């Protein structure tokens, strides 16, 4: 159901507000590039700094601009279960195809708490729910037995964005959750390795500005052209590394601004990259062959 190249899309700002015109242009770029899905209001979209009204506005705009050409997987997570339910219900009302629900952060719930959280959110809507498992951002990891139980017992929990960085865990998830449970990479560097063990694709950061290349790598793999897929992976790898010289989404927003896709505006507590890191980002873009 959820496979291919999804973009964890940046939220362009201008003068303190969401830049609707720039956002529409980004959506058109992705439609032309063959991107399979748009993921608004995620980590890369600076969701922690969006007001509830902006979150709903962003999802509404995404559905409106996409016009059914790609899937819309709205970021609706929160460390408050009640708030996550509100966001997820709003996304369903807006017409989103699915909701991406991150682990509750800061609270550090038990595995029982994680199960009950995702169960409550998923049962509050009819649209598919994708678990976003990212230990590094949230302080908790959804264990494979809990994820397998969710996949088995909650019909509309359809997959996971795996950003644990642990391929062994991802392999266990694929084995225990079954072929109809979609495992997507949350790390561009692991897209190809994950697909080689049964993953379905990626929710990508670098696809914000090289969407066709990310899509083409996945297409090559799915066609059995491993040589091309590997070559594209290795070509992209230095660029992927450059996107994490500072905390995401600082580098990717800087890259998009350098390439003229958006303004450089970013909300505190995120800041503009240091001069040294900005040079690294520019160098990586140039070496990839992009016009800086």
> Is the residue at 181 inside a domain?
yes
Q: What is the pLDDT of residue 239?
A: 98
Q: What is the pLDDT of residue 182?
A: 98
Report how far apart, in Å, the C-alpha atoms of 247 and of each of 49, 117, 271 are: 15, 27, 10
- Domain of residue 88, CATH code: 3.20.20.70
Q: What is the pLDDT of residue 35?
A: 98
> Is the residue at 41 inside a domain?
yes
How many structural domains are present in the chain?
Answer: 1
> Is the residue at 238 inside a domain?
no
> Is the residue at 96 inside a domain?
yes
Q: 148 in helix, strand or coil?
A: helix
Q: What is the pLDDT of residue 242?
A: 98
Query: Which one is catalytic: 161, 200, 253, 280?
Result: 161
Cα atoms found within 13 Å of the Cα of residue 31, Cβ hemisphere only: 15
The first and second tokens of residue 80, run together, are 């408050």
Cis ω on the peptide bond leading into residue 249 (within 30° of 0)?
Answer: yes
> Is the residue at 78 inside a domain?
yes
Q: Is 161 a catalytic residue?
A: yes
Strands 17-18 and 13-14: antiparallel
> Is the residue at 199 inside a domain?
yes
Q: What is the pLDDT of residue 225?
A: 98
CB atoms within 10 A of CB 68: 9
CB atoms within 10 A of CB 67: 9
Instruction: Note down the domain range covering 177.
Output: 4-223
Query: How far apart (Å, rounded) are the C-alpha atoms in residues 160 and 148?
Result: 11
Report how far apart, in Å, the C-alpha atoms of 254 and of each of 94, 241, 271, 281, 292 are: 30, 14, 10, 8, 12
Q: What is the pLDDT of residue 253?
A: 98
Query: Which one is catalytic: 6, 23, 115, 132?
Result: 132
Q: Which helix (H) or strand (E) holds 216?
A: helix 211-222
Q: What is the pLDDT of residue 39?
A: 98
pLDDT 10s per residue in the chain (292 long)?
Answer: 899 999 999 999 999 999 999 999 999 999 999 999 999 999 999 999 999 999 999 999 999 999 999 999 999 999 999 999 999 999 999 999 999 999 999 999 999 999 999 999 999 999 999 999 999 999 999 999 999 999 999 999 999 999 999 999 999 999 999 999 999 999 999 999 999 999 999 999 999 999 999 999 999 999 999 999 999 999 999 999 999 999 999 999 999 999 999 999 999 999 999 999 999 999 999 999 999 9
> Is the residue at 20 inside a domain?
yes
Q: What is the DSSP string of 175-205?
A: HHH-TTSEEEESSGGGHHHHHHTT--EEEES
> Is the residue at 139 inside a domain?
yes
Q: What is the pLDDT of residue 15?
A: 95
Three state DSSP letters for 8-54: ECCCCEECCEECHHHHHHHHHHHHHHCCCEEECCCCCCCHHHCCHHH
Q: What is the DSSP string of 248-279?
A: TTHHHHHHHHHTTSS-----TTS-PPPHHHHH
């Amino acid at each position: 159901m959820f496979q291919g190249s999804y973009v964890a899309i940046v939220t362009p700002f201008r003068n303190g507000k969401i830049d609707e015109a720039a956002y529409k242009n980004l959506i058109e770029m992705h439609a032309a590039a063959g991107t399979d899905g748009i993921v608004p209001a995620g980590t890369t979209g600076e969701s922690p700094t969006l007001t509830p009204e902006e979150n709903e506005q962003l999802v509404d705009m995404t559905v409106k601009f996409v016009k059914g050409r790609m899937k819309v997987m709205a970021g609706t997570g929160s460390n408050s279960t009640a708030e996550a339910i509100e966001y997820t219900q709003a996304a369903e009302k807006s017409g989103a195809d699915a909701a991406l629900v991150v682990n509750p952060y800061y609270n550090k719930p038990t595995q029982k708490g994680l199960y009950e959280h995702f169960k409550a959110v998923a049962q509050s809507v009819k649209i598919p729910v994708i678990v976003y498992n990212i230990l590094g951002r949230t302080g908790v990891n959804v264990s494979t037995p809990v994820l397998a139980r969710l996949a088995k017992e909650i019909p509309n929990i359809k997959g996971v964005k795996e950003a644990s960085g642990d391929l062994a865990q991802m392999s266990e998830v694929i084995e225990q959750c079954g072929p109809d449970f979609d495992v997507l990479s949350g790390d561009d560097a692991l897209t190809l390795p994950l697909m080689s063990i049964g993953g379905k694709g990626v929710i990508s950061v670098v696809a914000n500005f090289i969407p066709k290349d990310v899509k083409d790598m996945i297409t090559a793999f799915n066609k059995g052209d491993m040589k091309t897929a590997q070559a594209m992976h290795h070509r992209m790898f230095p660029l992927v590394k450059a996107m994490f010289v500072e905390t995401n989404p600082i580098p990717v927003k800087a890259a998009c601004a350098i390439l003229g896709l958006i303004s450089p505006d970013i909300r505190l507590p995120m800041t503009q990259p240091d001069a040294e890191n900005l040079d690294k980002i520019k160098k990586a873009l140039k070496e990839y062959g992009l016009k800086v």
